[in-house]
Chains A and B, each alone.
Chain A
């Protein structure tokens, strides 16, 4: 379903997927694009650059918390999910137990399981080896950029390109931060902590073109806000996944034959 419309030329143009700026939500008549559009490519590099800066600050924080340079780099290569890594070394640095470091990290990593489910249809035709490799780059950025694209092939391109760009930048940043110390300064002084929500705002827009997407988005945001005071970090975001249930049950697509599925009406 998510890609029913992609092969049929029904994909609507949108800001990361086509040149045409769609005036509304009507199905576009654009051709199914196989290659990433230049806007998407530029967006991927912007994301990568921001991630690189955070990689530096992770490297600094990790070595400050007592990890060796090799351990900091290994963590970014192998764990490769930023929020969890920050949480783990944060707990260790504050003198917390290994158990609580693991707990915090894995609660934040849990949302990647939902992203894996979301990306599964896009990767379903690929070999097991390819999917095992792809799994390492199932993170916020790659999933957001991929699912903002119209059509399966572009999604897959966006997924790999974003995942690889983030992987390279995050690891390069970590190595610089761990080995050379603070080369860039406090990311918060640069407002970079606001860069991520901003980037995801842009990437979530295509999902808001369908009624289902809007219900899921509103439900997800409200669920997460409600849970922030009640649950440990990570839980509010992963619990937002429950918002897809009312979206599917109570928000039927306005015209089922033209826009047969939920992912922003662009899927």
Chain B
């Protein structure tokens, strides 16, 4: 991979990140668009969770990651500390994987 490719990728990735944050600017504080903007993480983060748990390339699978997710949901629901949610989910997945 050439340096130009790395710099090009960096520029494109930065442009995506900056578009909303810098492009919207102070206009972002008002208007109905804000209602949509405020909800974006509510839509995207669960998508990130399910894709990272159930996708294997372009297939949907239920594997050791799903066991970790169940543990995470249960612990997060009970308001367990973040480190426990993450740590026990990872440990569960590792154990299920090792046992399989």
Which B46-100 residues have a C-beta within 8 angstroms of A? 46-55, 57-60, 64-65, 67-69, 71-73, 76-77, 79, 81-83, 85-87, 89-95, 97-98
- Fill in one digit per residue for A233-265: 1 if any B CB lies within 8 Å of its CB, else 0: 100111011111101100000000000011110
Known contacts A2-B37, A247-B43; is-contact A225 B54 (Cβ 8 Å): yes
**Pairwise interchain contact B58-A191, C-beta atoms closer than 8 A:** no
Partner of A115, one of B3, B12, B17, B97: B17
**Contacting pair A131 B22 (CB below 8 A):** yes
**Given known A71-B1, A109-B13, A216-B39, contact A116–B20 (CB-CB < 8 A):** yes
**Nearest B-chain residue to A212, judged by Cβ:** B39
Residues of A within 8 A of B59 (CB): 228-229
Given A200-B49, A247-B43, the answer on whether A229 and B60 have CB atoms closer than 8 Å is yes
Question: Closest B-chain residue to A80, C-beta based?
Answer: B13
Q: Which residues of A, 119-163, contact B by the 8 Å Cβ criterion?
A: 119-121, 123-125, 128, 131-132, 134-136, 138-140, 143-144, 147
A140 → chain B closest CB, angstroms: 6
Q: In the complex, what distance in Å separates the CA atom of A230 from the CA atom of B60?
A: 11
- We find that the number of chain B residues with CB closer than 8 angstroms to chain A is 79
Range, interface on chain A: 35 or more
Partner of B3, one of A71, A80, A244: A71
Query: Complex: how many Å from CA A224 to CA B45?
Result: 11
- Among candidates A135, A195, A220, residue contacting B22 with C-beta atoms closer than 8 Å: A135
B45 CB contact (under 8 Å) in A78, A109, A124, A203: A203
Q: Which of B17, B71, B81, B89 contacts A39 (CB 8 A)?
A: B81
- List A contacts of B30 (CB < 8 A): 1
Question: Which residues of A approach B to under 8 Å, CB–CB?
Answer: 1-2, 15-16, 21, 39, 42-43, 46-47, 50, 65-67, 71, 74-75, 78-81, 84, 88-89, 92, 98, 101-102, 105-106, 109-121, 123-125, 128, 131-132, 134-136, 138-140, 143-144, 147, 188-205, 207-208, 212-213, 216-221, 223-225, 228-230, 232-233, 236-238, 240-245, 247-248, 261-264, 267
Binding site for A on B (CB under 8 A): 1, 3, 5-10, 12-14, 16-30, 32, 34-55, 57-60, 64-65, 67-69, 71-73, 76-77, 79, 81-83, 85-87, 89-95, 97-98
